[in-house]
Chain A
Amino acid sequence: MESKTLFDKIWDAHVVKKVEDGPDVLYIDKHLIHEVTSPVAFLGLEKRGLKVFRPENTIATPDHNVPTIEQHLSIKDELSRTQVETLTSNCEKHGIRLYGLNHPWHGIVHVIGPELGITQPGMTMVCGDSHTSTHGAFGTVAFGIGTSEVEMVLASQCIMQPKPKKMKISVDGELKKGVTAKDIALYIISQISTSGGTGHFIEFAGSAITSLSMEGRMTLCNMSIECGARGGLIAPDETTFDYVKGREYAPKGEEWDKALAYWETLKTDDDAVFDTEFSFDAADIEPMITYGTNPGMGIGVTQYIPTGSGLEGSDKLTFENSLQYMGFKPGDKIGGHPIDYVFVGSCTNGRIEDLRAFADFIKGKKKAGNVTAWIVPGSKQVEKAAREEGLVEILEAAGFELRQPGCSACLAMNDDKIPEGKYAVATSNRNFEGRQGPGARTLLASPLTAAACAITGVITDPRKFLG
């Protein structure tokens, strides 16, 4: 039999039909929807007089534009409220399960999928959101789609996709102290660029990857879109099975045994071939921070901003525009630069382990006076755990407060906007111009680095405090 990669095995098992000199018709196991990219898809469906083909396989939650305070009140912004209400009415009309605002399992779509056990190894999953790649952490072929494709899944439980190429990224060795999954992600993107993964689906492998927790794996796979890849996945193992077991949608009893037997087969064959391969040494990675306006513009927190020498033409122009926007000079040391905001949250780093890492770091210290901090849990369940574990008291004693779940300042669709010209150290995934508000300057980092910056008020290496 032909040797296959993990990605091949899952993809090929979901091909309903191959269109000659065209895309594959790919069957989708689970479809997640939210308020921003679904309304036009439902409109399209209605215009065609179609029903949702498999409503039980679509799960909905409003996350992108919801406020992160006073969620019990009606949403003040009229347009946001209309989008959230439209999602609710579409779900009611079509029999789709909705985890609405204030539901105990409400949260960011990519946080609640795994929490509920919707995400399982071997599945195909899509959502009208590029960070759907998060679910690849479970050995799942998961990727973001556009609204036309959301409509396709609603209409037929399928989408039409050319099969991506396969890339393997190995990271071996032991991570140094203070280095997290987020740093691995930012390091890889800084090495292969924001377009290095385009056209590919990545499999992450190696000892530094398999030693990550499920939440760490989610952070890494989440960021795979930032190097241009459709998604990234990791072969499921005991860590994965332990995480999934017992969750609401997870198989139970005999069904579990059957599922587990299949999941254990989900690995790349020894002699399978990838189109592209990269390998990195975990020891080379230090806590990372970005200095520019795309996630590939990252450096170690102790390093200097590149000078851009050797760049020509549009490369040079793009680099210069980026530094000008950020208010940085080529060759400057990034450490010690004053900051104004810290944002901890998002589908990248808004899970309980992220809040634990942040709280553990700032415990007994005080937030710097010049810093405004927004700590936003990824879901109601994360918020609940933070309360139960006493993290909220630790945060409050240090001058921080925990907000309510949502995408928040990651894309600033709600009121959580960083003002023009201000510097924000963010645990989210994108530092594009204006991403966190018009004129906002974003520096991407891990929750640990964000914590170090929050208590010092300047860009700081978290290892200074780790003993």
Chain B
Amino acid sequence: MAYDKFITLRSQAVPLPIENVDTDQIIPARFLKAVERKGFGDNLFRDWRYDKNGQEKAGFPLNDKKYSGKILVGGKNFGSGSSREHAAWAIYDYGFRVVVSSFFADIFKNNALNNGLLPVVVTPMFLQDIFNEIEKDPQSEFEVNLEEQKFTIIATGKSIDFEINTYKKHCLANGLDDIDYLVAIKEDIEEFEKAR
């Protein structure tokens, strides 16, 4: 799926200090019935954002006007459960480009990377620093530098290195995906099949 090239991002962040945020919460199953990839952002965190009458629930960070930005900061074990890529689509479609947590579920992490959404893993202590900073000043900004693999809390100057493999970094920075790569090595795949 084509996505925007990832360049260095400076933005405010939206805090979601909840653990084990599963993909059923990110986008409930009843919103997976589309046959095209569009509009999933409207139902991001549907049952946490809206009550059963469709009214916004007060207190949920996405409904809180003081929070905004392209960075979502979640508690540990973010994205567990169902493999639905709709979860990554919904987060991206809503406008986020980076998700930060101390721990991501495997399938979600792959899905995010395949859609230009950068998962940034930080230490539990640094995660708490981020939450504290947002609580102190919701306008506070953060910088995500993909080239240097560095996440910085601008206000304090504190930064942390994050990991991403060279291949995926190249893909994100250039807006490429795995299918481009796989189609290009078709001959290798055919050779592999013959040799079995």
Residues of A whose CB lies within 8 Å of any CB of B are: 16-17, 19-23, 25, 27, 36-37, 39-40, 43-44, 48, 50, 53, 64-65, 77, 79-80, 82-83, 86, 128-130, 144-149, 151-152, 155-162, 164, 194-195, 198-199, 228, 230, 294, 313-315, 317-318, 321, 411-413, 420, 430, 432-435, 438-439
Listed by A's residue number, 16 A-B pairs whose Cβ atoms lie within 8 Å are A17-B192, A22-B165, A129-B83, A130-B107, A145-B110, A149-B110, A155-B183, A156-B185, A160-B181, A160-B182, A195-B80, A198-B103, A412-B30, A413-B29, A413-B33, A435-B24
Shortest distance from the beta carbon of A277 to any chain B beta carbon, whole Å: 19
Contact string against A for B residues 81-99, beta-carbon threshold 8 Å, 1 for contact and 0 otherwise: 1111110100000000000
- Asked if A148 contacts B182 (CB within 8 A), the reply is no
* Contact of B36 with A by CB under 8 A: yes
* Contact of B154 with A by CB under 8 A: no
- Asked if B106 contacts A228 (CB within 8 A), the reply is yes
- With A and B bound together, what is the CA distance between A365 and B29 in angstroms? 35
* 10 nearest A-B pairs in the assembled complex, by CB-CB distance: A22-B167, A146-B85, A79-B33, A148-B114, A146-B111, A144-B83, A39-B35, A156-B182, A21-B166, A130-B83
Which among A50, A146, A148, A194 is the interface contact of B20 at CB below 8 angstroms? Answer: A194
Q: A27-B192, A44-B1, A432-B24 are in contact. Are A156 and B35 (CB under 8 A)?
A: no
Residue in A20, A22, A294, A315 whose Cβ sees the most chain B Cβ within 10 Å = A22
* Contact of B140 with A by CB under 8 A: no
- With A and B bound together, what is the CA distance between A166 and B30 in angstroms? 35
- With A and B bound together, what is the CA distance between A151 and B35 in angstroms? 14
Residues of B whose CB lies within 8 Å of any CB of A are: 1, 17-20, 22, 24-25, 28-30, 32-37, 47, 52, 75-77, 80-86, 88, 103, 105-107, 110-111, 114-115, 128, 165-168, 177-179, 181-183, 185-186, 188-189, 192-193
Shortest distance from the beta carbon of A10 to any chain B beta carbon, whole Å: 13
Shortest distance from the beta carbon of B95 to any chain A beta carbon, whole Å: 20
With a CB–CB cut-off of 8 A, which chain B residues contact A162? 165
With a CB–CB cut-off of 8 A, which chain A residues contact B192? 16-17, 27
Shortest distance from the beta carbon of B78 to any chain A beta carbon, whole Å: 10
- Asked if A317 contacts B17 (CB within 8 A), the reply is yes
- Asked if B81 contacts A430 (CB within 8 A), the reply is yes
- With A and B bound together, what is the CA distance between A159 and B83 in angstroms? 15
- Asked if A156 contacts B189 (CB within 8 A), the reply is yes
- With A and B bound together, what is the CA distance between A162 and B25 in angstroms? 27
Shortest distance from the beta carbon of A158 to any chain B beta carbon, whole Å: 6
- With A and B bound together, what is the CA distance between A44 and B76 in angstroms? 32
Shortest distance from the beta carbon of B46 to any chain A beta carbon, whole Å: 9
- Asked if B178 contacts A198 (CB within 8 A), the reply is no
Q: A294-B20, A318-B19 are in contact. Are A160 and B178 (CB under 8 A)?
A: yes
- Asked if A146 contacts B35 (CB within 8 A), the reply is no
With a CB–CB cut-off of 8 A, which chain B residues contact A149? 110, 114, 178
- Asked if A199 contacts B106 (CB within 8 A), the reply is yes
**Interface majority SS (helix, strand, loop, mixed), chain A:** loop
- With A and B bound together, what is the CA distance between A462 and B80 in angstroms? 31
- Asked if A194 contacts B47 (CB within 8 A), the reply is no
Residue in A40, A148, A230, A438 whose Cβ sees the most chain B Cβ within 10 Å = A148
- Asked if B37 contacts A43 (CB within 8 A), the reply is yes
Shortest distance from the beta carbon of B133 to any chain A beta carbon, whole Å: 16
Which among B24, B84, B166, B189 is the interface contact of A157 at CB below 8 angstroms? Answer: B189
Residue in B19, B84, B178 whose Cβ sees the most chain A Cβ within 10 Å = B178
- With A and B bound together, what is the CA distance between A23 and B109 in angstroms? 13
With a CB–CB cut-off of 8 A, which chain A residues contact B84? 36-37, 146
- With A and B bound together, what is the CA distance between A195 and B20 in angstroms? 8
Shortest distance from the beta carbon of B154 to any chain A beta carbon, whole Å: 24
Contacts A438-B28, A438-B47 supplied; 12 other A-B pairs, CB < 8 Å = A25-B185, A36-B32, A36-B33, A53-B186, A77-B33, A145-B83, A155-B179, A156-B183, A158-B182, A195-B77, A318-B75, A412-B29
Shortest distance from the beta carbon of B118 to any chain A beta carbon, whole Å: 15
With a CB–CB cut-off of 8 A, which chain B residues contact A439? 52
- Asked if A40 contacts B81 (CB within 8 A), the reply is no
- With A and B bound together, what is the CA distance between A37 and B3 in angstroms? 19
- With A and B bound together, what is the CA distance between A25 and B192 in angstroms? 11
Closest chain B residue to A154, Cβ basis: B179
- With A and B bound together, what is the CA distance between A36 and B84 in angstroms? 9
Shortest distance from the beta carbon of A243 to any chain B beta carbon, whole Å: 24
- Asked if A25 contacts B33 (CB within 8 A), the reply is no
- Asked if B18 contacts A318 (CB within 8 A), the reply is yes
- Asked if B19 contacts A314 (CB within 8 A), the reply is yes
- With A and B bound together, what is the CA distance between A380 and B150 in angstroms? 53
Closest chain A residue to B114, Cβ basis: A148
With a CB–CB cut-off of 8 A, which chain A residues contact B106? 164, 198-199, 228, 230
With a CB–CB cut-off of 8 A, which chain B residues contact A155? 179, 182-183
With a CB–CB cut-off of 8 A, which chain B residues contact A152? 178-179, 182
- With A and B bound together, what is the CA distance between A175 and B18 in angstroms? 36
With a CB–CB cut-off of 8 A, which chain B residues contact A83? 33, 35
- Asked if B179 contacts A151 (CB within 8 A), the reply is yes
Closest chain B residue to A22, Cβ basis: B167
- With A and B bound together, what is the CA distance between A164 and B88 in angstroms? 21
With a CB–CB cut-off of 8 A, which chain B residues contact A161? 110
Which among A39, A198, A315, A438 is the interface contact of B36 at CB below 8 angstroms? Answer: A39
Closest chain B residue to A420, Cβ basis: B52
Closest chain B residue to A86, Cβ basis: B35
- Asked if A438 contacts B52 (CB within 8 A), the reply is yes
- With A and B bound together, what is the CA distance between A25 and B183 in angstroms? 12
